[in-house]
Amino acid sequence: MPVVAGVDTAVFTVPTDAPEADGTLSWDSTTLVLATVRSEDVTGLGYTYAPAATASIIADLLADVVTGLPALDVPRMNEAMHRAVRNAGLPGVAAQAIAAVDIALWDMKARMLGLPLVHLLGAARADVPVYGSGGFTTYDDDQQERQLRGWVETDGIPRVKIKIGESWGSCEERDRLRVAKARAVIGDATALYVDANGGYGAKQAVRVSRALTDEGVTWFEEPVSSDHLSTLAAIRDQVTLDVAAGEYGYTLPYFEHMLASRAVDCLQADITRCGGITVWLRVAALAQAHGLEISGHCAPHAHAHAAAAVPNLRHLEWFHDHVRIERLLFDGALAPDGGAVVPGADGAPGIGLTLNAERSQPYRVG
Ligand SMILES: [Mg+2]
């Protein structure tokens, strides 16, 4: 039985192509922490979007834990990593560090078996629907229109999402105008989603939801902070749009609390935050047990194969920043033609990505 020979890390910081902000945060660069695992002559890669310190957690707390363990026993190593970060604190960067290594371990296992990961996991569906996501509050009308047309007209994606809740909900009128302009650009046939990133108050969210409903918006993500489950549940009871949340889930119990609180109509989970593929699949099962679908949050190429293995998948977020970064740093990126990706279609083993040394080098910071 082959064992894990070692774990390496690399950190890349990529500037955004324009200033970006949502309801509650602004940024001008994005950092990707890469984990690479080795066993005999096979390597696997995984990643998370997290502070550079995540690489130190991998090196200091996780690498020795998985090194020497049987390379095919990914859930065993995932459990060992979870136990190893007890005193560091699992929610947050430790869970992200585990996620990067877990994804790399699944990638390596599939490569050892010569299979696309979706075939190792077992497909539950033929393809993975995606939705275009960006629409930052920093965009002017022309930028927003260009981005929306790119998804709808160039890629053929029939669902898109923009950010609202600008400056902690203090620009409600501009939010409404931007939603109306988005609808005018995409027409009636394209699904329109919004994400307030927790920027609104409870009553404000209900008030705004009426304008959103008038524009045919069907998805209201984090109308208020995901920390307030009873408030989310109250909003969910008062609006006809689907309420979605879950992107800040780092542990399995977090998702169970959210589901048990009846806080969401569709559960979101980020495979690069919640402990990797091993845990994300369990989160999907939790959602299924509650009669709900799951949507993959950001990092589309880290999710795609696992998403295809889940029967109750709604869709995967085709997030502007991460699509751009994954196309830049890796070879093997997927195409969302017609609004879905088909992981494994090219027969490439694992999650289908290889680091492009030449293109990634200028962005390497650690
Ligand atoms: Mg969001």
Q: What is the DSSP string of 183-208?
A: HHHH-TTSEEEEE-TTBS-HHHHHHH
Taken as a whole, the chain contains a residue count of: 366
pLDDT at 364: 98
**b or e along 213-230 (b: 16 or more beta carbons within 10 Å of the residue's beta carbon)?**
eebebbbbbbbbbbebbe
Mean local confidence (pLDDT), 47-51? 98
Q: How confident is the model at residue 22 (pLDDT cuts 50, 70, 90)?
A: very high
Q: Which residues contact 142 (CB under 8 A, 6 or more apart)?
A: none
Report CA(73)–ligand 1 centroid distance (Å): 32
Residues 35/99, Cβ–Cβ less than 8 Å: no
How many CB atoms sit inside 10 A of residue 291's CB?
8
Q: Give residue 322's pLDDT.
A: 98
DSSP 223: S
How far, in Å, from the CA of 316 to the mean position of ligand 1?
12
Q: Band of the pLDDT at 199, cuts 50, 70, 90?
A: very high
φ, ψ at 6 (rounded to 5°): 175, 165
Cα of 287 to ligand 1 centre, how many Å? 18
CA of 238 to the centre of ligand 1 (A): 21
Give the closest residue to 196 by CA, choosing from 218, 228, 164: 164
* 113 C-alpha to ligand 1 centroid (Å): 35
Residue 360 C-alpha to ligand 1 middle, in angstroms?
27
CA distance 327 to 330: 6
Asked if 282 and 252 count as a contact pair (C-beta separation under 8 A), the reply is yes
Q: What is the pLDDT of residue 41?
A: 96
Please give the pLDDT value at position 184.
98
pLDDT at 157: 98
- Strands (DSSP E) contained in 240-358 are 242-245, 266-269, 293-296, 313-319, 330-331, 340-341, 354-355
Q: Provide the token pair at 6.
A: 């070692």
Going from the C-alpha of 158 to that of each of 182, 314, 334, the distances in angstroms are 13, 13, 17
Instruction: Look up the pTM and report it.
Output: 0.98
Instruction: Report the helix count and the strand count for the chain, using DSSP H and E.
Output: 15, 14
| Overall average pLDDT of the 101-108 stretch | 99
Q: Taking a C-beta distance cutoff of 8 angstroms, is the pair 44, 107 a contact?
A: yes
CA–CA separation, 228 vs 124, rounded Å? 33
Cα separation, 165 vs 188, whole angstroms: 23
Q: What is the mean pLDDT of residues 317-325?
A: 98
Among candidate residues 187, 123, 130, 163, the one with its CA nearest the CA of residue 326: 130
Q: In 3D, which of 190, 235, 240 has the Cα closest to residue 212?
A: 240
Distance between Cα 253 and ligand 1 center (Å): 20
| Inter-residue contact 165 to 196 (CB < 8 Å) | yes
- Which pLDDT value is given to residue 232? 98
Q: Which tens digits make up the pLDDT trace of 212-239?
A: 999 999 999 999 999 999 999 999 999 9
Instruction: Render pLDDT for 116-159 as a digit per residue (tens, 0 to 9).
Output: 999 999 999 999 999 999 999 999 999 999 999 999 999 999 99
Residue 277 pLDDT grade (very low, low, confident, very high; cuts 50, 70, 90): very high
How far is ligand 1, taken at its centre, from the CA of residue 248, in Å? Answer: 9
What number is the average pLDDT over the span 336-359? 97
* Fold topology of 6-114+358-363: Enolase-like; domain 1 (3.30.390)
Average pLDDT over residues 278-282: 98
Q: What is the mean pLDDT of residues 48-58?
A: 98
The pLDDT of residue 321 is 98
Distance in Å, CA 247 to ligand 1 centroid: 6
Residue given tokens 């979007």 in the structure block: 49
Tens-digit pLDDT profile for residues 60-78? 999 999 999 999 999 999 9
Q: How many whole angstroms from 331 Cα to the centroid of ligand 1?
A: 26
**Alpha carbon of 57 to ligand 1 centroid (Å):** 25
Superfamily of domain 119-354: Enolase-like C-terminal domain (3.20.20.120)
- Give me the mean pLDDT over the 158-163 stretch: 98
> Which pLDDT score, from 0 to 100, does residue 295 have?
99
Q: What is the pLDDT of residues 254-271, one digit of tens each?
A: 999 999 999 999 999 999
CA of 222 relative to ligand 1 center, distance in Å:
7
Distance from residue 134's CA to the centre of ligand 1 (Å): 10
Domain ranges of the chain: 6-114+358-363, 119-354
Q: How many CA atoms within 13 Å lie on the side-chain side of 52?
A: 10
Averaged confidence pLDDT in the chain: 98
pLDDT band at residue 21, thresholds of 50, 70 and 90? Answer: very high
Ligand 1 centre from 267 Cα, in Å? Answer: 11
Share of the chain above pLDDT 90, in %: 100
| CA-to-CA separations, 91 to 38, 79, 352, in angstroms, rounded | 26, 15, 28
